[in-house]
Amino acid sequence: MNIHHNDPIPVVDSYDVVVCGGGPSGVPAALAAARAGARVLLLESTGQLGGVGTSAGVNSLLGGRTRNDATPCIAGIFDEVAEALIAEGSGVDPTAIPNAMYQPFGWANGDLAVGFYFEPKAMISLLDKLMIEAGVDVLYFTSFVSVDVQDERIQHVIYHNKSGLQAVATKAVVDATGDGDVAARSGCDFVKGRESDGLMTPATLMFRVDRVDQDKLESYIRDNESIRLKEIINDLKAKGEWPFDFDIFISQQSPERGTFMINTSRICGVDGTDGRSISHGMMEGRSQVMRLFQLMRQHFPGFSECRIIDISTSLGIRETRRIKADYTYTLADMMARKEFEDTIGFSGYGFDLPDPKKPSVQPTEEQNIKAPDVVPIPYSIMVAQPIKNIICPGRAVSVEREVLGPLRVMAPCYAMGEASGLAAAMLVNGAVDFSRVDVAELRSKLREAGAIVDIDAITKVTT
């Protein structure tokens, strides 16, 4: 059954660019578009910016440096944010961390070691300040609802907040919801999850603990050469005391010694585009967190006195929709180290998309393939079809699933967001649609803004 409600939706304003979603792709998109002179509205369904990095408790930006030698491969607004946080003592420069197997903020010789660790509250305040300085109108607690499309262009964006349903007119839309919500609602083509069965990689509810005896944990890790405590977990499994599908423990130290971010729960079968499924996922996530916490206190070295200081209020979703754009980036492209004329950024991260049913298994590891040290990001994978004035940076880009690994982490989302914001400003200033943006000009604008768009600008890459 359908119901039809006939209340007219007021059109309350008119913008050049509407950015839906204020995560690592929406934030730089809004800033770049506003700094290029566009009048920008940013809609965010939570009460803060930063996306998964702040609302879902993932306080480490990966992919901004190469894994082999920590050379920066992403700059621009990503660097501006990182530098500002380092300057105020709320972010940790990864190159300042000593190279040992156990490091306070990640694991040496692994992808985590070159992450940028930040304090979430400081990040949230900084992003507010940057929006105010750039003149972006931000609407918090505001969810994108729908669009009014005419002639394959979005004319109005409809959203909901405490004021009820409202609409704004717009010339361009950046869909930075991570889920391609706007693209899907506008009638753009997309796929969801694994090609064979539509299943998506497991979700995670993050939590943080303090009062960890870090000396004890460090010496256990060194003595046993065990980062993920697999032997302890296997022992518990053998005794029938481990109730989970996952069998590795993933944790990261915060700037404050003894405080850890726990990225371990794995909730299978969640569809992050389905309201009911997300709610079930939150409940299952909290239940996993509480059971895991008890086991950590009883069995994990250094955790006996730990206490939970927060459990995220948003579920961490790694995968949902991927748009079908002008170009779809394939695994074969990536492994052949294909170069693109429309490169707008790079990622230094590798494969990382656990099996939907086996949450501790990385299919690419089983296939024994390793991603290149730097992966170029073409502009065309963000250009959704057939709607002409929507661009989709971030986790919903047009790629084969495996390519999501390097691209979905937060630093590359910053690079994609900045490029899409500048492209949106070009649309406002004359370009007809996102497919016809002059990419040479866009790359030149990105260079001027300090972004890295040329492989030669990444100086120390060896492979």
Ligand X SMILES: Cc1cc2nc3c(=O)[nH]c(=O)nc-3n(C[C@H](O)[C@H](O)[C@H](O)COP(=O)(O)OP(=O)(O)OC[C@H]3O[C@@H](n4cnc5c(N)ncnc54)[C@H](O)[C@@H]3O)c2cc1C
Question: Which residues contact ligand X (rule: CB under 6 A)?
Answer: 20-26, 43-46, 51-53, 55-56, 58, 60-63, 115, 143-144, 176-179, 181, 204, 206, 263, 316-318, 394-395, 408-410, 413
Q: Is the dihedral of CA 110, 112, 115, 118 positive or negative?
A: negative
Nearer to ligand X, 26 or 431 (CB): 26
Min dist CB 164 to ligand X, Å, is 15
Minimum Å gap between C-beta 295 and ligand X is 19
CA 285/CA 251 separation, integer angstroms: 16
Minimum distance between the CB of residue 56 and ligand X, rounded to whole angstroms? 6
Estimate to the nearest angstrom the gap between the alpha carbon of 29 and the chain centroid: 14
415 vs 427 by CB, closer to ligand X: 415
**Residue whose CB is less far from ligand X, 60 or 360:** 60
> Rounded distance, CA 18 to CA 171, Å?
8
Cβ proximity to ligand X: between 183 and 295 the closer is 183
Distance CA 405, CA 418 (A): 20
| Residues 188, 193, 196: CA angle, nearest 5 degrees | 110
Q: Which residue lies nearer to ligand X by CB, 25 or 103?
A: 25
Contact 267, 208 (CB under 8 A): no
Instruction: For ligand X, give the closer residue by CB, 321 or 395.
Output: 395
Min CB(142)–ligand X separation in Å? 6
Shortest reach from residue 112's CB to ligand X, in Å: 7
| Nearest distance, CB of residue 77 and ligand X, angstroms | 13
Helices (H), 67-212: 76-87, 120-134, 181-186
> What is the pairing mode between strands 343-347 and 375-378?
antiparallel
Smallest distance, ligand X to C-beta of residue 39, A:
19
Whole-angstrom Cα Rg for the chain: 22
E strands along 162-225, which residues? 164-175, 190-192, 207-210
Residue 247 or 352: the one with the smaller Cβ distance to ligand X is: 352
The Cα–Cα gap between 25 and 267 comes to 25
Q: What is the closest distance, in whole angstroms, from the C-beta atom of residue 26 to ligand X in the complex?
A: 6
- For 44-163, strand residue ranges (E) read 60-61, 91-92, 102-103, 106-107, 116-118, 137-139, 143-150, 153-161
Q: Is 431 left (phi over 0), alpha (psi -120 to 50) or beta?
A: beta
Phi, psi of 197 (to 5 degrees): -140, 5
Considering the complex, state which of residue 115 and residue 431 has its C-beta at the smaller distance from ligand X: 115
